[in-house]
C-alpha cells in the first residue's frame, strides 16, 4: 500500500493509522471511505491488504473481488487476489488470477506503446487483441478489449459482433454491455442500445460496478431524451 498523494481525508487518516500499526482503526477508516465514495479504488486495495495482514483471508479475498468488480482491468487487484488464494491453499484459483494479471499487464504494455507511437496502424492493435482471443477463446477480457478497439476505430458493426460473442462467454461482464450499447448507439440503432444499457445497468448494479453503471445510466438518459 503506497503513501497517499492528494488522497481524501479518510484515506490519509487510514494510512497514518496503518503506518502506526493500528490496523483495526485503519480498517474502519477505509470502510467509511468506501461508504462515502464507492468508486475510490485505493480504498478497496487498502481493505484487502489490511484484512490479509489481520489474517482474515476470506475478507481479504472478498475485498479484492469487489475491487475487480469495480474495475476488471485493475492489475494489482488480480495480483493481490492471487496472493490471497495462495495463502488459502487454493492453488488453481491463484494461478488463474496470476494469469489474468499477466494478460492485463501485456494489454497495458500495448496501450503504453500506442501512447509513444501515436501513428501506429489501428489494424495492428486489433490484430493483437485477436491473438488474445486465439490464445483463450473463453477470455471475456479479450473480447471486450477487441470490441473496444473496434469502437475506437469506428468499426461499430464488428464491435457489435465481437462484444455479443464475449457476453455469451460471460453474461455478467458489465463493461462489455457499455461498449456494446455504445456501438449500437453509434449505428443509430437506438432501441437495441437502450435494451443493452438497461440489461447492463442491472448487471452492473448487482455486481457493484458503480462507475460502469453510471456511464450506462448517462447514455440511457441521453437516448431517452432524444426524439424518436
- 79-112 pLDDT, tens digit per residue, is 889 989 988 888 888 888 888 888 888 777 766 6
Mark which of 65, 97, 129 sits at the end of a domain: 97
Both 132 and 78 in a single domain? Answer: no
- Residue with more model confidence, 206 or 125: 206
Q: Does residue 168 share a domain with residue 205?
A: yes
> What is residue 73's predicted lDDT score, i.e. its pLDDT?
85
Name the CA dihedral angle for 57, 61, 62, 64, rounded to a multiple of 10 degrees.
140
Q: Which residue has the higher pLDDT, 135 or 44?
A: 44
Q: Is residue 3 part of a domain?
A: no
Query: 66-75, 101-110, 112-121: lowest mean pLDDT where?
Result: 112-121
173/91 same-domain check: no
Within a domain: 4: no
126 and 211 part of one domain:
yes
Say what the pLDDT of residue 200 is: 94
pLDDT band at 145 (very low <50, low <70, confident <90, very high): confident
Q: Is 15 exposed, middle or buried (0-12, 13-18, 19+ CB in 10 A)?
A: buried
For position 117, what pLDDT does the model report?
Answer: 44
- Arithmetic mean of pLDDT, 164-170: 94
Lowest mean pLDDT among 40-49, 121-130, 168-177, 206-215: 121-130
The mean-pLDDT minimum among 69-73, 91-95, 101-105, 201-205 falls in 101-105
pTM for the whole structure:
0.51
Measured CA to CA, the distance from residue 191 to residue 200 in angstroms comes to 14
Q: Which three cell numbers stand for residue 34?
A: 468506501
CB 129 within 8 A of CB 113: no
Q: Residues 6 or more apart from 36 whose CB is under 8 A from it?
A: 8, 10
Mean model confidence pLDDT for the chain: 86
The Cα 222–Cα 29 span in angstroms is 37
Does 165 lie in the same domain as 83? no
39 with 58: CB under 8 angstroms?
A: no
Q: Which domain holds residue 200?
A: 121-225
| Rounded Cα gap, residues 26 and 181, in angstroms | 40
Top mean pLDDT of 81-90, 114-123, 178-187 is at: 178-187
How many angstroms separate the CA atoms of 1 and 27, rounded?
A: 13
What's the average model confidence in pLDDT over 50-56? 93
Residue 215 in domain: yes
CATH number at residue 185: 1.25.40.10
Count of domains observed in the chain? 2
Residues ≥6 apart with Cβ < 8 Å to 178: 197, 200, 212, 215, 216, 219
Residue 3 has pLDDT above 50, yes or no: no
- Residue 191 falls within a domain, yes or no? yes
- The residue ranking higher by pLDDT, 159 or 118, is 159
What is the average per-residue pLDDT within 194-206? 94
Amino acid at each position: 500500500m503506497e503513501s497517499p498523494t492528494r488522497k481524501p481525508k479518510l484515506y490519509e487518516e487510514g494510512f497514518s493509522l496503518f503506518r502506526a500499526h493500528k490496523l483495526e482503526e485503519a480498517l474502519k477508516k477505509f470502510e467509511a471511505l468506501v461508504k462515502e465514495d464507492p468508486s475510490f479504488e485505493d480504498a478497496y486495495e487498502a481493505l484487502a491488504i489490511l484484512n490479509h495482514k489481520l489474517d482474515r483471508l476470506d475478507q481479504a479475498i472478498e475485498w479484492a473481488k469487489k475491487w475487480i468488480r469495480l474495475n476488471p482491468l485493475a492489475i494489482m487487484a488480480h495480483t493481490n487476489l492471487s496472493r490471497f488464494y495462495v495463502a488459502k491453499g487454493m492453488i488453481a484459483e491463484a494461478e488463474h488470477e496470476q494469469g489474468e494479471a499477466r494478460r492485463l499487464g501485456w494489454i497495458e504494455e500495448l496501450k503504453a506503446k500506442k501512447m509513444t507511437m501515436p501513428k501506429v496502424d489501428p489494424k495492428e492493435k486489433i490484430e493483437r487483441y485477436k491473438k488474445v482471443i486465439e490464445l483463450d477463446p473463453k477470455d471475456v477480457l479479450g473480447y471486450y478489449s477487441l470490441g473496444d478497439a473496434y469502437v475506437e476505430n469506428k468499426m461499430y458493426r464488428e464491435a457489435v459482433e465481437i462484444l455479443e460473442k464475449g457476453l455469451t462467454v460471460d453474461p455478467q461482464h458489465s463493461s462489455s454491455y457499455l461498449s456494446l450499447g455504445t456501438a449500437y448507439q453509434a449505428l443509430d440503432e437506438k432501441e437495441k442500445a437502450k435494451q443493452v444499457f438497461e440489461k447492463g445497468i442491472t448487471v452492473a448494479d448487482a455486481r457493484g460496478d458503480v462507475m460502469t453503471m453510471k456511464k450506462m445510466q448517462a447514455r440511457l438518459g441521453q437516448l431517452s431524451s432524444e426524439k424518436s
